[in-house]
Amino acid sequence: MKGTLITFEGSEGSGKSTQIELVRAYLKRKKKTVLFVREPGGVKISEKIRDVLLDVKNTKMSSECETLLYMAARAQLVEEVIAPVLKAGKIVLCDRFLDSTVAYQGYGNGVDVRAIKSIGKFATQTIKPEITFFFDIDAKKGLSRIKGRAKDRIERRALRYHNRVRKGYTEIARKEPGRVKLIDANQTKEEIFAVVVKHIDRLLKIH
């Protein structure tokens, strides 16, 4: 792949969407062509799967079904958008990717992580991010940042679930320090962006 995939990860309220917006605006100023997508979603079929996944009425969804639906949404997004855009040599910013399934369904829900990685290779066509930002925040603090919003099916889960998700992300970052940049999300938006932009500049050779 000629292009560059950059992913943004973190638990609820970690501020990754905020940072993506800042990165998008920054790269636009630098005259870079950037495509932004989110997971689950980003294309019509995947947005429909997103509705099923996040619907609070789907209380009976099994962990296996949940895992496969996240993967199905990802497979469609990769095929329709991510793979062709990367082949064309462009930059893709993705709000969540395979690491989310490892953290939320694997560490959070106890689904076999090896199975997730194996199905993940199939769903992503073995595409991996060049760099992944993991915005690390205490789960309780993150949830308090979004307490004014209507909670979706995943956000409604108990604090101990969100603590396991955070632990999962920490493990992912520990195992792949070259790709995954652990960033303390307990700083101001500007302080966090200053760290992020240094990595972006180095990766994309922006001077």
Residue 115 CB partners (closer than 8 Å, separation 6+) = none
Considering only 6, 82, 83, 154, the residue that binds ligand T5A (CB under 6 A) is 154
Nearest to residue 136, comparing CAs of 178, 179, 172? 172
* CA pair distance 120, 124, nearest whole angstrom: 6
Give the helix/strand (H/E) hosting 202: helix 189-204
Q: Which residue is nearest to ligand T5A (CB)?
A: 15
- Write the interaction track for ligand T5A spanning residues 88-117; mark x where CB under 6 A is met and - where it is not: --------x---xx--xx------------
Nearer of residues 21 and 88 to ligand T5A, judged by Cβ: 21
Contact yes or no for 139/161 (Cβ under 8 A): no
Find the shortest distance in angstroms from Cβ 132 to ligand T5A. Answer: 13
Nearest to residue 108, comparing CAs of 163, 156, 56, 67? 163
Find the shortest distance in angstroms from Cβ 89 to ligand T5A. Answer: 25
Asked if residue 140 binds ligand T5A (CB under 6 A), the reply is no
Q: Can you give the binding site for ligand T5A, defined by CB under 6 A?
A: 10, 12-18, 38-40, 70, 96, 100-101, 104-105, 145-146, 152, 154-155, 188-189, 192
